[in-house]
Amino acid sequence: MAYELHIEKKSGAIRLEDWESAVAGLHGVRFCSSDHMITNPESGEVISVPRNEGDVAVYFSEDKTWRPTFYWFNGRISFKAMLLPDNTSDPSWQAAIALASRLDAIIRGDEGEVYDLTTGKVIS
């Protein structure tokens, strides 16, 4: 299983309505409107992953593509930690910071560590 980061409240859940409000109007993020098509890098096989309510894509201007990135489930938002959090120029990380700020939330790793929203470094 891949290591994930999570946008979550210090206490309580993030309601879907609050998540929708945080995403609304934020440049470079949008709700996914269809299933995700994923290509297996080893076999080249393309599979379809069903879209769920609350799934959000991030725009990567470098390759001009929208990539499914954030997944709302059970009151928190998760995303794969396929980036270095202290690489603050990564579009996924920039979106995560903006969304966490809008939600007055934190970004926490699977092992409980909390990330600074300015530097991306682990603070606890």
| Amino acid letter, 103 | L
The domains located in the chain, with CATH, are 4-115 (3.30.1400)
Strand partners, 115: 107, 122
Instruction: Answer with the residue of higher pLDDT: 113 or 33.
Output: 113
pLDDT of residue 37: 73
**C-alpha angle 34-83-112 in degrees, rounded to nearest 5:** 100
The pTM of this model reads: 0.84
Average pLDDT over residues 75-95: 81
Token reading at 22: 């945080």
pLDDT of residue 115: 92
pLDDT digits (tens, 9 = 90+) for 7-58: 999 889 999 999 999 999 899 999 998 776 777 778 888 877 777 889 999 9
The C-alpha atoms of residue 61 and residue 113 are separated, in whole angstroms, by 30
Provide the pLDDT confidence category of residue 109 given band limits of 50, 70 and 90: very high
Closest CA to 116 of 85, 70, 84, 77: 85
